[in-house]
Structure 1
């Protein structure tokens, strides 16, 4: 079995485990735990959404830079030096952001909730901790992908984070802890995930060295800033939905969209199973042979991913009326939201490895207008449908 098939199969097993944990939590435990206090669940969801968005901004494209530059290192010492430079700038940016936040008032986040925002008062530190955790996981995940250790990163994000979330939700449902204690331990689970991923990266042989700032700063920042606007904009667009639902409709509405989005994410499982190892192999192939040699891989990955995602979406949409019978009353009738989100995954799958090939080649700038347009379209369509309709 080839490395793509082997790691994809292992990732699929881990993702399936995470899917089961997430399904039990999202579809049964959380609706009961937060019945009558839906804005509490909404707060947790926009916390992770904003953590992801801020991490993308602060990262300055460094995760993509890790995948682009490290395969070109001529020695382990040179790789360690390059990695240090790529980690240095996001870390400094996060420290500056944390320092600037000390001048903000306790109600600075109130605009994230269309109703009142009282639940967001004094939580800016929590948002920064979540952003820092996501930033660290992004960087460590890129290092592990470069080292072809994608299964470990997937297991930490899928099994640990979702399993701990389920355990905390059950404790909250059972009255073992109040919401503030639940909220605090929810943050701790992400800090622990960073620790687990760091230990895995160390065991893979990843090391930091003395950064060669004069040699690496310009090319890495130039590529990183582009990667932020390019690849980062896709991640931002996917999380803007949750943020805008809370800001325009209220935190109490966020769980309903979260419910629909979770169902639709099943469509993206093939992408998540194959994506990390395909990105790693593509970056190495482009570095050694050039993008022209990646044609067969592009066609095969596009066919396989499109067939799998389209089949999953069709099965889910057809089965939604039956699924509604088993769902809580407040979370029924989400078929069209599931279809819309699922179609986005199918469209992404149809590109195969085209995105990584462009990203790691000398023509990486070609994808920028498309991804920036995605952000603009997301904001515009969300505003129109949420405000007008």
Structure 2
């Protein structure tokens, strides 16, 4: 756990600084400087670019992490790994760009209500997709090298700072809305450039192709894995992005702005797991290579326990104080309150079930992950088609909750059945019981005239009761050990 703790801690610190900046962006800046449909436009562009880039990448980001242990040899330029990692997706991008241009009338027809706003930026979506593609590939390369902190900084902090600057320049009249959108897209280009320079600085920019890249691992095996991964990752993007796209086409871009704002509020729960997963992915690949299943089992349970502890605390802290959070925005955004609660439930369940997806996708039976993801992606689309017309924004959130719950149940069961690995012990129900007690104590705090004061008191009560009961019950050894270290340093 040493390397995981060091990298995970750095990534978590960066991620939470980024979360603070994201809160400023999403709650204080963008909803007060941009109209809901303008926010919706940027979210639709990002969602389209993400799916576009993943199709172009042909699964090579995950493939690179999966097979890099076999290429690792810095003296030999990692056997030409980097040119292979970048070259195939570039060919894929060329093919996807032709399809994207030809599909323009069909795609714009889905947003007939907001065509006038979306149409001028259609082709800029291809530029954004190119930036997203290069960023994701280099981020994957850095993950394989166990160098994840800088990419976390760029993604979680720098991009958000640049967005705030662009929004402020727009509000002050220095930029038109068109200029804001171009600055927003340009920030992704700058992020990609910085990652490239960082790889160069590490001495890992081995750009010369080598024939060895095609022989270290049989090309057929690499392409076979990539074919499965692209469908799996695309399914994941559909699950993560299709709701905002379908809200935009089924309701309006303004509704997308409200929905994605609520979506971001719930993403606080993903940060601990996302920070950990950056280092967990290559580590699990190494475990499979060495067939160290006992170490993998221990890692699975420890990470699940920690994700559950942090996830419960964050879910309760956000859910109990939504009235304060929405008081900081324009009143129209409060329509996303129920959306936040449903998404929090889905993300908490995802935390509780641990790194099941990463274990499966790095295992010899990775093909089964495709079955789960494709089936779930299809179900997600169908659920959105059914529930958005019936319940609007709430229907989209409910579809996401059902999707996230289903895939985690399926994956957890399969990993347990196939490899005898499961993340639960008696400590998980104990942590959940502690969370319920702490949540009830904070809920019983009476509201006062100030929403800020109410939020502050509830947060103090929640944290005090939750932390105190975790220490008293010794439900999580890692928490108890951390508390002992703090006491020793403070000498009390």
Cα 1:229–1:99 change in 2 (3 A) is: closer
Q: Which moved more, 1:5-14 or 1:192-201?
A: 5-14
In 1, the alpha carbon distance for the partners of 2:25 and 2:138 equals 27
Q: Answer with 1 or 2: which has the greater Rg.
A: 2
The residue correspondences of 1:1-389 to structure 2 (distance < 5 A) are 2-35=2-35, 38-73=36-71, 75-76=73-74, 77=76, 79-103=78-102, 107=105, 109-206=107-204, 207-212=206-211, 215=215, 216-291=218-293, 293-389=295-391
Q: CA deviation at 1:138?
A: 0.9
CA deviation digits over 1:53-89, x for unaligned, max 9?
1111111110111111111126333724233223222
Deviations 1:246-280 (A, max 9, x none): 11111121110011111100111111221101112
Rate the CA distance shift 1:301–1:130 in 2: closer, same or farther, 3 A: same
Distance 1:202 1:238 in 2: 32
**Two-structure CA RMSD over aligned residues (Å):** 2.1
- TM-score, reference length from structure 1: 0.93
Q: How far is 1:51 from its partner?
A: 0.9
Residues 130, 190 of structure 1: 8 Å contact kept? yes
Query: Secondary structure at 1:205's aligned position in 2?
Result: coil
Tell which has more relative contact order, 1 or 2 (C-alpha 8 A, sep 6+). Answer: 1
> What SS class does the counterpart of residue 304 from structure 2 fall into?
helix
Structure 1 gaps, min length 5: none
Hey, what's the Cα distance between the residues in 1 that align with 2:97 and 2:196? 22
Whole-angstrom distance in 2 between the partners of 1:63 and 1:291: 25
- What SS is found at the alignment partner of 1:361? coil
Is the contact made by 1:109 and 1:117 (CA closer than 8 Å) also made in structure 2? no
Q: CA deviation at 1:290?
A: 4.8
Distance 2:287 2:118 in 1: 46
Q: CA deviation at 1:214?
A: 5.4
Residue range with higher mean Cα deviation, 265-274 or 331-340: 331-340
Q: Return the alpha-carbon distance in structure 1 between the equivalents of residues 233 and 158 of structure 2.
A: 26
Q: Is the 8 A contact 2:27 2:325 kept in 1?
A: no
Cα distance in 2, alignment partners of residues 18 and 361 from structure 1: 32
Instruction: Count residues with an aligned counterpart.
Output: 386
Measure, in 1, the Cα distance between the counterparts of 2:296 and 2:3.
Answer: 16
Give yes or no for contact 1:18–1:163 (8 Å, CA) kept in 2: no
| C-alpha distance in structure 2 between counterparts of 1:60 and 1:362, whole Å | 20
Which residues of structure 2 form unaligned runs of 5+?
Answer: 392-492
SS of the residue 2:373 aligns to: helix
Output the CA distance in 1 between the equivalents of 2:341 and 2:148: 29
Question: Relative to structure 2, which stretch is displaced further, 229-238 or 271-280?
Answer: 229-238
Distance in 2 (CA, whole Å) between partners of 1:252 and 1:203 is 43
8 Å CA contact 2:159–2:187 kept in 1: the answer is yes
